[in-house]
Homo-oligomer: A and B are copies of this chain.
Amino acid sequence: MKKVGKQTISFDAPPIILETASIVGPKESEGPMAKYFDQCLTDEFWGEKTWEKAESKIIKETVNTVISKSGIPSKDIDFCFAGDLLNQCISSSFGLRALNIPFFGVFGACSTFVESMCLGSVFIESGAAKYVLCATSSHFCSAEKQFRFPLELGNQRPPTSQWTVTGSGASILGHVGEGPYITHITPGKIVDMGIKDANNMGAAMAPAALDTIIQHFEDTGRKPSYYDAIISGDLGHIGKDILNEMMQSKGYNIKSLYNDCGVLMFDKNKQDTHSGGSGCACIGTIFSGYFFKELKEKRIRRLLLVATGALMNSTSTQQGESIPGIAHAISIEI
């Protein structure tokens, strides 16, 4: 591999995305993407007593599913990269504690899925690993409780707010086999434009997406038209519009190629999720469920996948801090 430009790594023997899996919650199961997921749950608890335990079960079963679908024995998977939104990433730690695979905990907020694939792909191409597992999760109820208000309070949600996706996405990367390739990664910098509204994550994260996408184009010499699709993680309707405008102001028109997983996840008119989906599982499940199949079936041949994260917590918001954003991009080709 080699570094190209300021922030991008180009792979000589690109790591292969061998398999993916996704499990989603009940609201996602009523959305337009439902048919692409491996499993759609009918309630938020899945037989567990708490939302946190349910989230752990979701990531655990998603990981079991991707291992089973891949046909790769779990003893042959060298490392696992995983993280989530819960404090101290307990969904991943508890969900994956029985996995018996060396574990790297990752925190990139909602950028975690692509962050883990960035790290995993460097491990694969360098020869440090033959197979790695990348996984993430989020849960509407555990996230609302932790970041905003008790659900029982029935708080009104402003129009800029997004709906944390309940679910988990997981992928297995390998050095040989069939599947789309990760040809480049462009890990992002922390970008803080001073947005302080914890109910407007799209606006807080859009500048980070802008920074990473433009850097990717500059580093690789590619233009937007190189890609069949540019897909961001969870900017939602408002963040998507902001990113389109900001890209335009920098001289890049990506409108016809660009969409956001937060926009794709729910039906805006029927599902009352305001600005759309969010959470680690938003891009995690939509990539694993939908885009991976589009790539495998060659309906999309070149995808720029850009996961965005808001690096804050409720204490930082209460202390009047702004919301730093980050975005990590990977180029996936067939």
Smallest beta-carbon distance A202→chain B, Å: 18
Number of copies: 2
Given contact pairs A50-B319, A103-B326, A315-B87, A127 touches B190 in the complex (Cβ within 8 A): no
A108 within 8 A of B: yes
Q: Is the CB of B90 within 8 A of A315?
A: yes
A293 within 8 A of B: no
User: Per-residue 0/1 for A36-69: is the Cβ within 8 Å of any B Cβ (1 yes, 0 no)?
Assistant: 0000000000000110110000000000000000
Q: Tell me which residues across on chain B come within 8 A of A123, comparing CB atoms.
A: 122
Given contact pairs A126-B128, A190-B99, A105 touches B311 in the complex (Cβ within 8 A): yes
- The size class of the interface chain A forms with chain B is 35 or more
A109 within 8 A of B: yes
A93 within 8 A of B: yes
Q: Is the CB of A104 within 8 A of B97?
A: no
User: Per-residue 0/1 for A177-219: is the Cβ within 8 Å of any B Cβ (1 yes, 0 no)?
Assistant: 0000000000111101000000000000000000000000000
Complex CA gap A106/B116 in Å reads: 10
Name A106-127 residues within 8 Å CB distance of B: 106-109, 115, 118-119, 122-123, 125-127
- Pick out which of these stretches binds chain B: A1-9, A247-255, A300-308: A1-9
Q: Is the CB of A88 within 8 A of B313?
A: yes
A241 within 8 A of B: no
Q: Is the CB of B107 within 8 A of A319?
A: no
Q: Is the CB of A316 within 8 A of B187?
A: no
A79 within 8 A of B: yes
Q: Is the CB of A90 within 8 A of B311?
A: yes
Q: Is the CB of B101 within 8 A of A189?
A: yes
Q: Tell me which residues across on chain B come within 8 A of A271, comparing CB atoms.
A: none
The 8 closest A-B pairs by CB, nearest first: A126-B126, A93-B311, A105-B107, A88-B313, A87-B87, A102-B187, A97-B190, A107-B107
Q: 17 A-B pairs, CB-CB below 8 angstroms?
A: A1-B128, A9-B128, A50-B319, A53-B319, A79-B187, A83-B107, A87-B314, A90-B315, A97-B192, A102-B187, A103-B187, A103-B189, A104-B108, A104-B115, A105-B106, A106-B107, A126-B128
